[in-house]
């Protein structure tokens, strides 16, 4: 759950006290629905909401479960929907365990109202003789204790450290998901982190000798808050500028290179915050990409 420009997104409810039924059950009004993640599509999610369920429990498969490309795409689309809409019911995620599988099979084996008479359906609506789920957490509030941790290092170039211009290489190390425990950073910017570590290793060998040092100080930043509009990078740069302002020194960062999701495809894409001047170091990267 989060707020953006006054608009609420995600699920804001947590309290549950209800009978749980399988997602395929005919009568789900005011019931908790149980479904496996691989069965949940965008259309099915919206259909369950329209049937009047009061909560949704999604069973997350074990990490060893193989996924097809189509399933991965469907899950990514569903995640985007859940993060971009206001969800009126509580949504919980359950790890797949033997106990969870036994419960799922037990609920699945119960009488399905679609095979019963109309009288049996009415009786089923009145009585609730199945499994009851109860969560007494109440309503979740906004977390105010989140802290961003940046990890930074530097290599000193050839010359007087304070007078040398700087190049900042950045990669964010965090990821965003439906729930904190379900975030898979390897699908976010693990490639950027690996490439930054590789660059540190290569440049540290060059900077180990005076004869191969460039006339630049290299700064390496592993930044937090990448999925929060790069708040970690912004904080580091703001703190750096404040320090320079207090010391009455000019800005000496020539260029900032952000490494983001470089392993997603075989093509590289370059974005600049504003058109660079011909004298700036960023033109060097333009020559590499466009010539």
CATH number at residue 259: 3.40.630.10
How confident is the model at residue 197, as a pLDDT? 95
How confident is the model at residue 220, as a pLDDT? 96
Residue whose structure tokens are 């000193």: 156
State mean pLDDT over 46-69: 84
Q: pTM for this one?
A: 0.67
Q: Within this chain, do residues 128 and 166 fall inside the same structural domain, yes or no?
A: no
Confidence category of residue 267, pLDDT binned at 50, 70, 90 = confident
Q: Within this chain, do residues 186 and 220 fall inside the same structural domain, yes or no?
A: yes
Tokens of 210: 């005076």
Q: Which of 57-71, 113-127, 223-237, 244-258 has the lowest mean pLDDT?
A: 113-127
Query: What 8-state DSSP symbol labels residue 30?
Result: T
Confidence category of residue 156, pLDDT binned at 50, 70, 90 = very high
Answer whether residue 142 is part of any domain: no
Q: What are phi and psi of 76, to 5 degrees?
A: -65, -40
Q: Within this chain, do residues 158 and 275 fall inside the same structural domain, yes or no?
A: yes
Q: Within this chain, do residues 99 and 172 fall inside the same structural domain, yes or no?
A: no
How confident is the model at residue 157, as a pLDDT? 92
Q: Which of 122-126, 130-134, 268-272 has the lowest mean pLDDT?
A: 122-126
Q: Within this chain, do residues 120 and 192 fall inside the same structural domain, yes or no?
A: no
Answer whether residue 141 is part of any domain: no
Answer whether residue 175 is part of any domain: yes
Q: Within this chain, do residues 38 and 11 fall inside the same structural domain, yes or no?
A: yes
Q: Is the pLDDT of residue 288 over 70?
A: no
Answer whether residue 115 is part of any domain: yes
Confidence category of residue 198, pLDDT binned at 50, 70, 90 = very high
How confident is the model at residue 140, as a pLDDT? 64
State mean pLDDT over 184-194: 75
How confident is the model at residue 134, as a pLDDT? 82
Answer whether residue 145 is part of any domain: no
State mean pLDDT over 176-193: 69
CB atoms within 10 A of CB 119: 8
Q: Within this chain, do residues 162 and 274 fall inside the same structural domain, yes or no?
A: yes
How confident is the model at residue 181, as a pLDDT? 59
> In whole angstroms, what is the distance from residue 235 CA to residue 136 CA?
38
How confident is the model at residue 114, as a pLDDT? 46
Is there a contact between 240 and 234 (Cβ–Cβ < 8 Å)? no
Q: Is the pLDDT of residue 185 over 70?
A: no
> In whole angstroms, what is the distance from residue 204 CA to residue 213 CA?
9
Domain boundary pick from 135, 170, 205 = 135
Q: Within this chain, do residues 23 and 127 fall inside the same structural domain, yes or no?
A: yes
Answer whether residue 140 is part of any domain: no
Helix axes 69-84, 42-50, angle to 10 degrees: 50
State mean pLDDT over 7-32: 82
Q: Within this chain, do residues 184 and 272 fall inside the same structural domain, yes or no?
A: yes
pLDDT averaged over every residue in the chain: 79
Q: Within this chain, do residues 118 and 213 fall inside the same structural domain, yes or no?
A: no
Which is it for the CA torsion 155, 158, 161, 166, positive or negative? negative
Answer whether residue 251 is part of any domain: yes
How confident is the model at residue 50, as a pLDDT? 92
How confident is the model at residue 161, as a pLDDT? 85
236 burial (CB, 10 Å; 0-12 / 13-18 / 19+) is buried
State mean pLDDT over 73-98: 80
How confident is the model at residue 7, as a pLDDT? 72
Q: Which residues pair with 59 in a beta bridge?
A: 36, 94
How confident is the model at residue 233, as a pLDDT? 87
How confident is the model at residue 241, as a pLDDT? 83
Answer whether residue 25 is part of any domain: yes
- Of the chain, the percentage scoring pLDDT greater than 90 comes to 18
Q: Between residues 67 and 19, which one has the greater pLDDT?
A: 19
Number of structural domains in the chain: 2
How confident is the model at residue 201, as a pLDDT? 96
pLDDT in tens, 5-15: 677 776 777 78
Q: Within this chain, do residues 160 and 252 fall inside the same structural domain, yes or no?
A: yes
> In whole angstroms, what is the distance from residue 254 CA to residue 157 CA?
14
- Domain hosting residue 173, numbered range: 151-290
Q: Within this chain, do residues 84 and 212 fall inside the same structural domain, yes or no?
A: no
Domain boundary pick from 102, 135, 168 = 135
Domain boundary pick from 105, 135, 165 = 135
State mean pLDDT over 238-261: 80
Q: Is the pLDDT of residue 111 over 70?
A: no
């Amino acid at each position: 759950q989060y707020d953006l420009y006054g608009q609420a997104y995600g699920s804001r409810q947590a309290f549950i006290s209800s009978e749980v039924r399988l997602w395929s059950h005919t009568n789900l009004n005011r019931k908790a629905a149980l479904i496996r993640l691989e069965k949940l599509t965008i259309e099915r999610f919206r259909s369950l909401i329209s049937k009047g369920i009061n909560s949704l429990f999604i069973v997350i498969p074990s990490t060893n479960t193989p996924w097809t490309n189509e399933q991965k795409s469907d899950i990514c689309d569903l995640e985007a929907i859940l993060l971009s809409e206001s969800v009126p019911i509580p949504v919980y995620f359950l790890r797949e365990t033997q106990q969870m599988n036994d419960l799922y099979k037990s609920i699945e084996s119960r009488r399905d109202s679609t095979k019963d008479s109309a009288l049996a359906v009415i009786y089923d609506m009145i009585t609730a003789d199945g499994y009851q789920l109860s969560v007494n957490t109440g309503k979740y509030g906004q977390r105010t204790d989140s802290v961003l941790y940046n990890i930074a290092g530097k290599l000193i170039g050839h010359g007087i450290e304070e007078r040398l211009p700087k190049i900042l290489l950045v990669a964010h190390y965090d990821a965003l998901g439906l729930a904190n425990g379900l975030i898979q950073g390897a699908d976010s910017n693990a490639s950027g982190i690996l490439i930054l570590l590789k660059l540190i290793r290569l440049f540290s060998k060059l900077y180990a000798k005076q004869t191969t040092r460039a006339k630049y100080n290299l700064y390496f930043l592993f930044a937090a808050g990448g999925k929060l509009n790069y708040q970690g990078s912004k904080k580091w740069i703001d703190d750096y500028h404040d320090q320079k302002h207090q010391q009455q020194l000019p800005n000496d960062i020539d260029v900032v290179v952000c490494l983001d999701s470089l392993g997603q495809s075989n093509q590289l894409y370059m974005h600049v915050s504003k058109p660079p001047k011909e004298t700036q170091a960023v033109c060097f990267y333009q020559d590499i990409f466009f010539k």
